[in-house]
Amino acid sequence: MLVLVAGIGAWLAWSPSVTLGALTPAHFKVGEKLTYGLSWGIVSAGTAVLEVAERQSLSGRSVVKLVHTAKSNEFVSAFYPVNNRVESLLDEEAAYPHHLLFNRREGKRKNDIEVIFDQAAHKATVTKDGNTETMEVPPDVQDTLSVIYFFRTLRAADAGSSTIIHVNHDKKNYKLELRVEGTERLKGPLGEFDTVRILAIMPFRGLFMNEGNIRVWVTNDAARVPVLMKAKVVIGSITATLTGAEGVTLAAKP
């Protein structure tokens, strides 16, 4: 019901001809931590955190370790406990992932997934619950956590534009369609922000075990921080609201 893994990453569209550059502090930096309050309808459901935890070296390349956690509160845990953790190593120069770890704990569903990407050979070695297989992946493919940060390196597209991004999730490759709906002034717990509203047309279950598309509002600035996310689930809807931000400057409006 409240898995924060992928759909947050479907925040912005961009020009297909854009050239990727190295990650910079203007996009995000080590130490950034975003905390979200999750609600199921009018009921508080839990918390989710997105964090740029540390910088590492992997085969001579500089990578940043991204961490996402989602946990249900006591009330929701009584009938559908969630305690997920996702880690991704994102290449700072190429802005694509090398390694993913996903410890899924959702109700009775428990999976441990590891993905090792060979971006040069366009292959991924996937180990799920002890079973390993190698599969082909599209060039510069993203995983369900890295895609969240990948978009922040790219320029925004105009309202009404649409594009596709390739995402590898749970041993399958998907085409995620992103549509920029427009701009909107939005008020939340941390202030009032000018935002861009994005519709992610989801071909798979993402952040909230969603049953359909996800709508996301991101700050209309270089940081592109998501301040609000909404998704339908089996019964009702889930909303994620930004309640805390560390290591990033939010341009709140007076």
Determine the residue type at 34: L
Residue carrying structure tokens 């996800």 = 214
Rounded-to-integer distance, Cα 77 and Cα 82, Å: 7
Each of the 254 residues of the chain gets a pLDDT tens digit; together they read 333 334 443 333 233 333 344 555 556 889 999 999 999 888 999 999 999 999 999 999 999 999 999 999 999 999 889 999 999 999 998 989 999 999 999 888 899 999 999 999 999 999 999 999 999 999 999 998 998 887 777 666 677 777 788 999 889 998 888 788 999 999 999 999 999 898 888 665 544 444 567 888 989 888 889 999 988 776 778 899 999 999 998 877 77
E-strand spans in the chain? 33-40, 43-58, 61-72, 83-91, 97-106, 109-118, 123-128, 131-136, 142-143, 162-169, 172-188, 191-201, 214-219, 226-232, 237-246
Task: Sort residue 203 into left (φ over 0), alpha (ψ -120 to 50) or beta.
Answer: alpha
- pLDDT, residue 198, reads 87
The reply to whether 77 falls in a domain is yes
Rounded-to-integer distance, Cα 10 and Cα 27, Å: 16
The reply to whether 72 falls in a domain is yes
The reply to whether 254 falls in a domain is no
Rounded-to-integer distance, Cα 245 and Cα 50, Å: 10
Q: CA angle, corner 170, sides to 93 and 36, nearest 5?
A: 70
The reply to whether 1 falls in a domain is no
Please return the burial class of 204, using the count of CB atoms within 10 Å of its CB with bins 0-12, 13-18 and 19+: middle
The reply to whether 251 falls in a domain is no
- pLDDT, residue 2, reads 33
**In sequence order, what DSSP letters do the residues of 179-203 get, joined into one string?**
EEEEEEEEEETTEEEEEEEEEEE-S
The reply to whether 230 falls in a domain is yes
Task: Sort residue 78 into left (φ over 0), alpha (ψ -120 to 50) or beta.
Answer: alpha
Overall domain count for the chain: 1
- pLDDT, residue 156, reads 61
- pLDDT, residue 30, reads 92
The reply to whether 2 falls in a domain is no
Rounded-to-integer distance, Cα 26 and Cα 30, Å: 12
- pLDDT, residue 179, reads 84
- pLDDT, residue 38, reads 94
Q: Which domain holds residue 145?
A: 7-243
Contact (CB, 8 A) for 122 and 137: yes
